[in-house]
Amino acid sequence: MTKTLFVASAVHSMTGADDAGANAVLVDGAKIAAVGSVDDLRARDDAKDAKVVDFGGGVIAPGLTDSHSHPISGATADALGVDLTGSVSMQEAQRRLKDYAATVPAGEWVYAWGLDPTLYHGGPLVFEPFAGIIGDRHCVIAFADMHSLLVSPAVLKAAGINGPVEFPNSSASIACYPDGTPTGHVLEFEAKDLIYKVMPPLTEAQKVQRIVDVLNGMASTGLTGAHVMDLSDGDLALLAKAEESTDLGIKLRIHPVARQAMGSDISYLQALLGRHGRRWAVTGVKLFMDGSIDGGTAWLQEPDVHGDSDFSAWTDLDAYRGLMRNLIAARIDTVAHAIGDKGVLTHVQVVSDLLKELGDVNGGGHGSHSIEHLEMMDDDTVRTVASSPLFVSMMPLHCTRFLLADHTDNWSRKLGEPREGYAFRTRTLVDEGATLAIGSDWPVAPYDPRATIADGMLRRPFNRPELGPVVPDEALTVQQLLDGYTRSCAVARGEAATSGKLAPGYTADLTVFGADPYALSAEEIGTMPILGTVIDGDVVYSA
Query: What is the residue-level pLDDT of the chain in tens, covering all 543 positions?
Result: 799 999 999 999 999 999 999 999 999 999 999 999 999 999 999 998 999 999 999 999 999 999 999 999 999 999 999 999 999 999 999 999 999 999 999 999 999 999 999 999 989 999 999 999 999 999 999 999 989 999 999 999 999 999 999 998 788 999 999 999 999 999 998 999 999 999 999 999 999 999 999 999 999 999 999 999 999 999 999 999 999 999 999 999 999 999 888 888 899 999 999 999 999 999 999 999 999 999 999 999 999 999 999 999 998 999 999 999 999 999 999 999 999 999 999 999 999 999 999 986 655 567 899 999 999 999 999 999 999 999 999 999 999 999 999 999 999 999 999 999 999 999 999 999 999 999 999 999 999 999 999 999 999 999 999 999 999 999 999 999 999 999 999 999 999 999 999 999 999 999 999 999 999 999 999 999 999 999 999 999 999
Q: At what angle do helices 379-386 and 341-358 cross, to 10 degrees?
A: 30
Q: How far apart are CA 352 and CA 390, in angstroms?
A: 8
State the DSSP H helix or E strand holding residue 336, giving kind and residue range, or none if neither: strand 333-338
| DSSP H helical ranges for 292-425 | 317-329, 341-358, 379-386, 396-402, 410-415
**What pLDDT is recorded for position 1?**
73
Q: How far apart are CA 63 and CA 511, in angstroms?
A: 5
34: which strand partners?
26
**What pLDDT is recorded for position 170?**
80
Q: Do residues 386 and 435 lie in contact, with contact meaning Cβ atoms separated by under 8 Å?
A: no
What are the structural domain ranges in the chain? 1-63+501-543, 72-196, 258-500
Q: Which residues contact 215 (CB under 8 A, 6 or more apart)?
A: 71, 248, 249, 250, 252
Q: Let me know the angle formed at the C-alpha of 214 by 211 and 217, rounded to the nearest 5 degrees.
A: 150
Q: What's the CATH fold of domain 72-196?
A: Diaminopimelate Epimerase; Chain A, domain 1 (3.10.310)
Do the domains 258-500 and 72-196 match in fold? Answer: no
Q: How far apart are CA 338 and CA 97, in angstroms?
A: 32
Q: How far apart are CA 382 and CA 426, in angstroms?
A: 10
Single out the residue of 251, 267, 207 nearest to residue 232, CA to CA: 207
Q: Which residues contact 336 (CB under 8 A, 6 or more apart)?
A: 286, 287, 288, 289, 347, 351, 369, 370, 371, 372
**What pLDDT is recorded for position 360?**
66
Q: How far apart are CA 491 and CA 508, in angstroms?
A: 17
Q: How far apart are CA 207 and CA 290, in angstroms?
A: 29
Q: How far apart are CA 14 and CA 517, in angstroms?
A: 13
Looking at domain 258-500, what is its CATH homologous superfamily? Metal-dependent hydrolases (3.20.20.140)
Per DSSP, 11 falls in state E
Q: What's the CATH fold of domain 1-63+501-543?
A: Urease, subunit C; domain 1 (2.30.40)
Q: How far apart are CA 35 and CA 33, in angstroms?
A: 7
Q: At what angle do helices 449-458 and 478-485 cross, to 10 degrees?
A: 140
Q: What are φ and ψ of residue 514, in 5° steps?
A: -75, -10
**What pLDDT is recorded for position 171?**
84
Single out the residue of 294, 295, 377, 283 nearest to residue 335, CA to CA: 283
Q: Let me know the angle formed at the C-alpha of 33 by 518 and 511, rounded to the nearest 5 degrees.
A: 35
Q: What are φ and ψ of residue 43, in 5° steps?
A: -80, -10
Distance in Å from the first CA to the final CA of the chain: 26
Cα 151 to Cα 155, 348, 378, distances in angstroms: 6, 36, 36
What is the separation of C-alpha 279 from the centre of its chain, rounded to a whole number of angstroms?
A: 18
Compute the CA torsion angle 382, 70, 183, 342 (nearest 10 deg). Answer: -20
